[in-house]
Amino acid sequence: MAKRIMVVEDNDLNRKLFCDVLKANGYEVVPVADGQNVVETAKKYNPELVIMDIQLPNVSGIDLIAQLKQDAAFTQTPVLAVTAYAGKGDEERIRDAGASDYLAKPVSIGPFMAAVRELLGD
């Protein structure tokens, strides 16, 4: 049974790239374009990993990670944060919210898949 990964990314090209790469590596993907649907989508699909863009319209990915981690169903679910805006202190804030790992955009496929496999224990 393929492991399920929820990809939260508002940029259509990035979301498609992440999903295509994950599918090519045998994972089931749940793409999410709107950050406002994250918690309800996670409850519906119960992903084993969440890939979270930090810069989303209308809502912060950091806030969404914190919301997910407050839900007992997702306290153990790893979150891989990805962001184009890696400023001083950002990584600490992202990890403090509950992210398990962090990648700066542009994301290269090798490090991306290495992080995914590590977080899933593959």
Question: Could you read off the pLDDT of 63-76 as tens digits, one per residue?
Answer: 999 999 999 999 99
Phi and psi dihedrals of 22, rounded to 5? -65, -45
**Reported confidence tier of residue 84, pLDDT bands at 50, 70, 90:** confident
How far is CA 117 from its chain centroid?
13
Model confidence pLDDT, tens digit, residues 10-45: 999 999 999 999 999 999 999 999 999 899 999 999
The count of structural domains within the chain is 1
Q: pTM of the full predicted structure? A: 0.96
Domain that holds residue 92: 4-120
Instruction: State how far the Cα of 116 lies from the Cα of 94, in Å rounded to an integer.
Output: 17
**Reported confidence tier of residue 102, pLDDT bands at 50, 70, 90:** very high
DSSP state of 51: E
Domain of 27: which CATH number? 3.40.50.2300
Closest CA to 24 of 47, 53, 56, 2: 2
Whether the pLDDT of residue 86 is over 90: the answer is no
Whether the pLDDT of residue 89 is over 90: the answer is no
